[in-house]
């Protein structure tokens, strides 16, 4: 929400340890107030409020009791989140192969419906000389900057900044940056994730 103050991320804490937002969401979904949950769980409203903000760590017994009041299993608090934030420069590097590439995974590794990859392709860099296909239904490529040449059976497609290309994942292809001087920045989207 606009004007809402947010605590900066605490990279030293594992994401699974931050359960407050999930507890709050479960409480709100159940239509319960802080006071109602606190009373039923035998805890103070202040403690529960701090728990929802990840400012305190509950005992196992308290956590089990709160989850019981909310009608959820404790394990649900530690399942991979449905949403994920990847800040610029913090995406994990990946290596799909090829040469002259710097690739990052922009979607959560647990995401199975969609995979988005950011590639910075050095001049002359690319996927290699052999055509390949991926185990996905659809592959989408968008050129953010520079240029990219896609090679498909019997066809070559040149893409410039702002161009997009969609193909079935089973389509054999390869690609490279034809520029002698400028890197290319490319976004790839694969669905479902291979």
Residue 88 is assigned to a structural domain of this protein:
no
- Examine the pLDDT at 147 and tell me if it is beyond 60: yes
pLDDT per residue as tens digits for the range 164-187:
999 999 999 999 999 999 999 999
pLDDT 10s digits, 23-65: 998 899 889 999 999 999 999 999 999 999 989 888 878 888 9
Residue 129: pLDDT over 80: yes
> What CATH number is associated with residue 126?
2.60.120.10
Structural domain boundaries, residue 139: 93-191
Backbone torsion region of residue 107, taken as left when φ is above 0, otherwise alpha when ψ lies between -120 and 50, otherwise beta? beta
Contact 41, 48 (CB under 8 A): yes
pTM above 0.85, yes or no: no
56 and 102 both lie in a single domain: no
> Mean pLDDT over residues 125-131, rounded?
92
In a domain, 8, yes or no: no
Structure tokens at 23: 């507890």
Residue 84 inside a domain? The answer is no
For position 80, what pLDDT does the model report? 64
Number of domains in the chain: 2
């Amino acid at each position: 929400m606009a004007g809402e103050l947010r605590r900066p991320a605490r990279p030293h804490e594992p994401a699974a340890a931050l359960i407050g937002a999930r507890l709050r969401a479960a409480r709100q979904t159940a239509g319960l107030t802080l006071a109602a949950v606190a009373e039923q769980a035998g805890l103070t409203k202040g403690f529960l409020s701090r728990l929802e903000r990840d400012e305190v760590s509950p005992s196992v017994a308290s956590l089990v009791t709160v989850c019981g009041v909310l009608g959820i299993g404790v394990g649900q608090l530690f399942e991979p989140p449905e949403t994920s934030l990847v800040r610029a420069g913090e995406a994990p590097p990946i290596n799909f192969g090829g040469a002259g590439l710097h690739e990052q995974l922009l979607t959560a590794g647990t995401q199975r419906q969609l995979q988005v990859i950011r590639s910075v392709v050095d001049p002359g860099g690319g996927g290699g000389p052999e055509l390949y296909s991926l185990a996905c239904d659809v592959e989408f490529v968008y050129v953010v900057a520079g240029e990219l040449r896609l090679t498909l059976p019997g066809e070559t497609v040149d893409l410039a900044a702002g161009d997009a290309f969609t193909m079935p994942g089973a389509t054999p292809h390869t690609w490279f940056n034809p520029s002698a001087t400028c890197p290319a920045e490319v976004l790839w989207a694969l669905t479902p994730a291979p």
